[in-house]
Amino acid sequence: MPESQPNADGSAAVSLESLLAGMRVVSLPMTVRFRGITEREAALLPIGDRWVEWSPFLEYEAPEASRWLRAALTTFDTPSAPLRDRVPVNATLPAVPADQAVQVLERYGRWRTVKIKVAERGQRLDDDVARVRAVRERFPEARIRIDANGGWDLDQAETALRTLEPFGLEYAEQPVAQLHDLVTLRTRFDRIPIAADESVRKAEDPLRVARMGAADIVVVKVQPLGGVSAALDTVVASGLPAVVSSALDTSVGLAAGVQLAARLPSLDYDCGLSTGALLGGDVVRRRLLPEWDGDAAVLPVTQPEVDEGLLDEFAAADERQQHWRQRLIDCWPLAQAV
Ligand SMILES: [Mg+2]
């Protein structure tokens, strides 16, 4: 593989041909069903002598997936130095039945903050309340935040937040999908901070959230926002506190998230980067899994070392490799044009 120097804009000087020749797609088993999936497919792309992750979810079309590709190509474009050598992280609890909640959380080891998924399709508010209650009863000191992924309408969100408020919530993430509903919810309900996630990462203009006063906190992810540097710019321009999260990344993607979090001007909230605990396999031997440092569960700022034996072990089927090759071909011109 030839050495590559970055382009003037920070993107990696690589060719589509070299990426197609070296791309490896893995299918990692998950320890618990999350986002409706039990296996996580991710592509690892060779850039210079390193690997970067490109893992848009399978249902994403080329315009969205190409932004994730842009992020992969700019992974090593990190202009500023890290401000910290470790990053506090939260546990993430999928929308599992309440009686499984504690067992799933044990996978994370010790933690002080948990994000609980709510408003899952096919479930009712009673299910969410039971899940939150189970966690609160078992962990009375925990910082609990919820994430509805925009699954409620305005009235449902208001009812849900009033019902869940007594459990003590750090914040509510994307309770409703629409920006104007977020604005309305904030005016009607000022006791729980509102965080925006999809309204940032899926928006044409990720800063509209801040300009409209639609959130107290922005959730940022490296791949959807086009890379570490672009995500950092978004946070600074928003003027809001930020929570860096993952998208069920391998340790390679998680490490990029840690690089971003380590560069935020201030880090007021634990980051959603411990989702490696939901994966039953990875592409590095020294996985990025949270460790308790006496105060919080943390991840170190590291450069992950991909193990090619693990790329073989978890290699996706030939037909899936072919699918991703075509995906890369489709996304390549769009990633250049972003
Ligand atoms: Mg979210």
At a CB cut-off of 8 Å and minimum separation 6, what does 183 contact? 212, 213, 214
Note the pLDDT tens digit of each residue in 38-83: 999 999 999 988 999 999 999 999 999 999 999 999 877 777 899 9
* 221 included as an active-site residue: yes
Residue 146 has pLDDT above 60, yes or no: yes
**Domain spans of the chain, in order of start:** 16-77+314-337, 86-300
Closest CA to 52 of 94, 90, 14, 97: 14
Distance CA 266, CA 205 (A): 23
Q: How far is the CA of 147 from the centre of ligand 1 (A)?
A: 6
Q: What is the pLDDT of residue 189?
A: 84
Q: How far is the CA of 282 from the centre of ligand 1 (A)?
A: 22
* 117 included as an active-site residue: yes
Q: What is the pLDDT of residue 7?
A: 58
Note the pLDDT tens digit of each residue in 157-167: 999 999 999 99
Catalytic residue among 40, 50, 115, 221: 221
Strand 24-34 and strand 37-47: the pairing is: antiparallel
Residue ranges of alpha helices (H) inside 23-82 are: 62-73
Residue ranges of alpha helices (H) inside the chain are: 16-22, 62-73, 101-105, 125-138, 154-164, 179-188, 198-201, 208-212, 228-238, 251-261, 308-313, 318-337
Note the pLDDT tens digit of each residue in 271-296: 999 999 999 999 999 999 999 999 99
The CATH homologous superfamily of the domain defined by 86-300: Enolase-like C-terminal domain (3.20.20.120)
In the DSSP assignment, the letter for residue 317 is: P
Q: How far is the CA of 115 from the centre of ligand 1 (A)?
A: 9
Residue set of the binding site for Mg(2+): 147, 173, 197
- CB-count burial class (<10 Å; 0-12, 13-18, 19+) for 2: exposed
pLDDT band at residue 36 using 50, 70 and 90 as cut-offs: confident
Note the pLDDT tens digit of each residue in 216-273: 999 999 999 999 999 999 999 999 999 999 989 999 999 999 999 999 999 999 999 9
Residue 147 has pLDDT above 70, yes or no: yes
Q: How far is the CA of 3 from the centre of ligand 1 (A)?
A: 37
Catalytic residue among 115, 117, 143, 327: 117
Per DSSP, the three-state class of 290 is coil
Neighbours of 8 (CB within 10 A): 6
Q: How far is the CA of 237 from the centre of ligand 1 (A)?
A: 20
Domain 16-77+314-337 is in which class?
A: alpha beta
